Amino acid sequence: MSRTRLFASLCGLVFLLNLARIIFAPLLDVFIGEFGIGEATAGLIVTLVWVGTASPRLPTGWLLTRVPRHHVVIGSGSVLAISAVLAANARTVRHLLIGAFLMGIASGVYFVAANPLLSELFPSRVGRAMGIHGAASQIGAVAAAPFIALTLLVDWRLALWTIAVGAVLLTVAAWVTARRTELPSAGEADREFVAGALSEWKLIVTALAIVGATSFVWQGLFNFYELYMQSKGLSSGAAGTLLTIVFAAGVPAFFFSGDLADRFPHVPYLLGIVGTFAATLLLLTAVEGFLALAVLSAAVGIVIHALFPATDAYLLDTLPDSTRSSAYAVFSSAWMLAQALGSSALGLVIERGYTYDGVFAGAAIFLGVAVVGLVALERTGRLPS
């Protein structure tokens, strides 16, 4: 029962952390108007959130060989509270960029510490634990757009102040719950960060080959989703509704994909998800009208969010106790860095005159070709499973 209570407190904390790193996407229009910036600079704001998410993952992996996982989780909540206050007081773009970067750092530290902890709390159902935890995270993403719409009735800075206060309360709750829980000892075997990561390099490279490009495309897609939908003739309100649909579809996707990841072979399941995402993205570029776009938005949301618990389950279920946090930190760092570059890359391409439909259609075709190649390698037994 104590482990279940700790799990519940972590689900509350991850809700807030993911809300914090998602809220910058629905604020892009506000930033462009208030700070007088273009799409490339706006894309840089969200890129720095995700660069921040990626940058502490290697140091956090090393820290986990020295410090208990739950201590690091609690530290991440403290960083979120401080950085949200900093961003809420931003008066220049540079100030805002720094705050966004630090908020990303908080989430990066959290996920590297919390995901191995959860896999060790529930070793027989890693996928299910990742799925439920991911669903809680995704609810934060779903709440981002309506949360911003509500706070904009007063001031966009209110959103950041709310996150700061919530971070303090949830961090204290997680600390109290962890103190009352008998924690697993599996992580005590992982004490050699570099050696542990190097010993699992084949698994790390394989996972990145499967999901790296997809997450890069996804970052650009969701951070510019409202502007993309507006380019198809939808109003700002309708575009925001479709972004909410994308994220809302991810809630059941996380939950059910985690269960499926426990049932199916990991690599074929991941390749199936990537191939389906490429197909739905290509269809999205070919349709017009609110109803058709709403259906495709839901499909894209379901498929892409199914990828994340499946990927975590693949790594955390396969890695042994002696290398779990070290190898996962290396993979997670590289994976998040690949994602982080997607928004600024898309912003630069759009500013050069390319259309959203053209860029995303090309990306979908590239992913489809990559999946065909990876399936061929998997069928010949060349990918570790």
Q: Look at residue 384 in the predicted model and tell me its pLDDT.
A: 72
Q: Look at residue 267 in the predicted model and tell me its pLDDT.
A: 94
Q: Look at residue 351 in the predicted model and tell me its pLDDT.
A: 87
Residue 57 CA from chain centroid, whole number: 13
Cβ density class 257-294: b for 16+ within 10 Å, e for less: bbbbbbeeebbebbbbbbbbbbbbbbbbbeeeebeebb
DSSP letter for each residue of 39-53: HHHHHHHHHHHHHHH
d(C-alpha 161, C-alpha 80), whole Å: 11
Regions in the chain scoring below 70 on pLDDT: 1, 186-187, 385
The set of residues, in sequence order, having a beta carbon less than 8 Å from that of 154 and lying 6+ positions away, is: none
Q: Look at residue 385 in the predicted model and tell me its pLDDT.
A: 65
pLDDT digits (tens, 9 = 90+) for 262-274: 899 999 999 999 9
pLDDT digits (tens, 9 = 90+) for 120-151: 888 878 889 999 999 999 898 888 878 988 99
**DSSP label of 189:** G
pTM (2 d.p.):
0.81
Q: Look at residue 92 in the predicted model and tell me its pLDDT.
A: 86
Q: Look at residue 281 in the predicted model and tell me its pLDDT.
A: 97
State how far the alpha carbon of 235 is from the alpha carbons of 65, 127, 227, 332, 355, in Å.
50, 39, 10, 37, 18
d(C-alpha 223, C-alpha 125), whole Å: 32
CATH code for residues 2-379: 1.20.1250.20
Query: Residue 301: exposed, middle, or buried by beta-carbon count in 10 A (0-12, 13-18, 19+)?
Result: buried
Closest by Cα among 332, 362, 339 to 220: 339
Closest by Cα among 340, 335, 117 to 219: 340
Is the CB of residue 106 less than 8 Å from the CB of residue 80? yes
Q: Look at residue 304 in the predicted model and tell me its pLDDT.
A: 96
Q: Look at residue 186 in the predicted model and tell me its pLDDT.
A: 63
Cβ density class 111-148: b for 16+ within 10 Å, e for less: bbbbbbbbbbbbeebbbbbbbbbbbbbbbbbbbbbebb
Closest by Cα among 336, 362, 357 to 50: 336
φ/ψ of residue 349, rounded to 5 = -65, -40
